[in-house]
Structure 1
């Protein structure tokens, strides 16, 4: 598949259509795809014939499962640094999407994870369906939520974002709406008609004809224990509160968290707290860039991808293996200024 094949571009009336086209990989993003999307948006933003951009994913499984983590695994093992260049362009793209001057309609049907959230949830019009499963699952591979994920999750109601960041849990349409990751629910059978109408009509006028009220989600009923437990200052205290709450769902969340990388958990909690205090997405992306660059040399990223994606034994050997062994100095190192040899994000 050529670079041109992996992202399909066309115009449909006054809408520009961008389709991520790696269906066998659930449209996972590689560097060439990021560059092609960025170039297309730059051109369309200044094209008076284009009134809106509509982003979809090829195939039946989802919009985008994230970044191409097999490539990141190979790069981290080789110490080549190609992932840094990928993240730099990807995070710049995320920032551009957030400030895009025209309606940016992201159809978040099916699986939308990691980099898929970055290419959709910063848009001005975000559509989910009954098939949507939205997640930032990075702690499970020894990584930390990026692509502006800590910006989005730190601004979810109460401590819902902290819960999703640490557990990596996927949410459906209703909870994506509750957490501010999406704006509209459109039943998936109505998507073809919606896309056809977007070619001739304004999104603000078209969407009310297709969207439906969201059914009850799962998170709202758990707000009390989520807000109490995740307000704690450390991952260890969060786990203590989860186990002590008496709620079966809280105990399940604690078990999920304990399976994740201890380093990634502590860095993720610190990143979330810091992101909540930062004033702009650009500042948060700059922080995430520092964290991602540091993670590239962490053994847990290579080990997490090996266990979950390469060998699929689901038995990562984290280093260190326990939260108690992760020092404050180790966590602080992830937020240190970039080295002189790393090109800044430049937002």
Structure 2
């Protein structure tokens, strides 16, 4: 690969995985206040394919054609712009670059806490594949926990607990001392138990099944998929201010957005991973040339753990 050229996944029309192509593009250069990262791994999230499905959705995220793909990344700093302190070539880093992470190089602001345009030091003991899964899901889970604020006296119902955000939300709630009941399919039950949650099947009758598991009551809830868990939590008497959503809007129920995660939350998650207190299951990894296969697997929403692209 020539130093002025690089590979990047691009799309020239909006749509599904079939529009994703690996293209040769000019290598981006770090400007003032920026660092360039040689990407070694990029993690996929539902938002990656949701926001590139059609032009109207893409526009809400500020995207236009031609567009890149993927947001979470990990790698090594290889270029530092004027005025940057705290980063040097050779530093291992992770972060987020909105819809442009699946590429040999990304350029991001070095300031630190701007969601989806950020870079952080990767702690020793955290491998690049794992680091490449932290930004979007970690931020979103941290924002949801900040709304619900679980503690040792809580029993928390988490809807969509086996998904990408659920992996973090379950473990963070357990670290906070809460009992966690997580919704999922029958095939995800063992996976949820391994994370520290008590599994319960989603679907009609959810409130009754939860009541049987927790006759003492549920005190908080996070709906990481839609609104079914909100409905069940309300039926179980959980007050609206201790329920949150991330993927739907419900009148009276606060929503959680990764952009509003507490300051320092990503660094704290990385420290927990390094300390062995939080783990991120990697369900599958693919070379960049197989981006369509990876996106198809991730967009099916049935994968247990994270999907990562190796570069």
TM-score clears 0.5? no
Larger strand fraction of residues? 2
- Compare relative contact order (CA 8 Å, sep 6+) and give the higher one, 1 or 2: 2
TM-score by structure 1 length?
A: 0.27
